[in-house]
Amino acid sequence: MRLILTLITTLLITTPAVAGQFKVTNLDDAWVTVDYTGMVDFPDASRLRDLMERYPDHEVMIFIDSGGGYAYAGCDLYWEAKRHGNLHLVGGYKFGAWSAAAMFWLGGNTRHVAVGGVVGFHMAYCDPHNPPGCDTRDIDAEMQLIFEDALGCEHATNLRVGLEWVRGMFGVSGWIALIDIEASSFAINTRGSYMEPYLF
C-alpha cells in the first residue's frame, strides 16, 4: 500500500464541545451497534471498557462521529480498543473522525471509513498563549508508536514524515486526512486554527 500525498483546501475542522459519549443504537443476538460522539476525553477509555464488558458475547460495531479531543485520551482509547477482538470501528460516519478520535479508530479489530467519510490526523502542538517550554515530544513519540503498531513501520514513517513536513513548512500542525483506506489516498490540509495544547 503506497501513500499518496495531495494538497487540498476544502475540508474544515470543527471540534465538538461535548465530552465523548457511547450510545447503544441497536442490539440483537449477535451484534451491538454504538454511536460515539463528542470530544475525546480522559474517562472515555474506561467507558469503552465498561461497554465491552457488558457485551462479551457480541460483535460490537462503533460508528465514530467525533472532531477529536485530547491526544493522551485518544492514545488511551487506542490501547483499550486493541484489547477487544470483537470490536469493529467505522470512522467518518456522519461528520468525521479527527485526530484523537482517529487514534481510537486505529485500534479496532476491523476498521472502515464510512461512505463519504474522512479520518484525519495531525500532530499535537501548543498555541502561542501558553507559557514557554511547552513540549510535545512525549505525545509525538506515543503517536509514532501507535502508527507503527497499527500500520507497520514503513507506513507509519511515511505518515509521520508528511505530518512533520506540514508542521515544519507552515509552523503549525497541519493534518493528514485518510479519505479512502482502500485506495490509500491521503491529503494534507494546511488550513485550520490553533487549538488547546495537546489537542489533536
**What local confidence, expressed as pLDDT, does residue 199 receive?**
34
**What local confidence, expressed as pLDDT, does residue 78 receive?**
97
**What local confidence, expressed as pLDDT, does residue 155 receive?**
80
Burial of 129 (0-12, 13-18, 19+ CB in 10 A): exposed
Q: How far is it, in rounded angstroms, from Cα 105 to Cα 20?
A: 14
**What local confidence, expressed as pLDDT, does residue 2 receive?**
35
What CATH number was assigned to the domain covering residues 4-189?
A: 3.90.226
**What local confidence, expressed as pLDDT, does residue 38 receive?**
92
Do residues 47 and 20 make contact, with C-beta atoms less than 8 angstroms apart? yes
**What local confidence, expressed as pLDDT, does residue 181 receive?**
41
**What local confidence, expressed as pLDDT, does residue 5 receive?**
33
Cut 0.75: pTM above it = yes
Q: Order of strands across the sheet with 4-8? A: 4-8, 185-189, 175-180, 119-122, 97-98
Burial of 194 (0-12, 13-18, 19+ CB in 10 A): middle
**DSSP line for 80-133:** HHHT-TTEEEEESSSS-EETHHHHHHHTSSEEEE-TT--EEEE-----TTSPTT
Q: Name the grid cell of 151.
A: 500500520
- Flag residues of the chain having pLDDT under 70: 1-18, 116, 125-133, 166-200
**What local confidence, expressed as pLDDT, does residue 175 receive?**
59
Where are the domains positioned within the chain?
4-189
Strand 97-98 to 175-180 pairing = unpaired
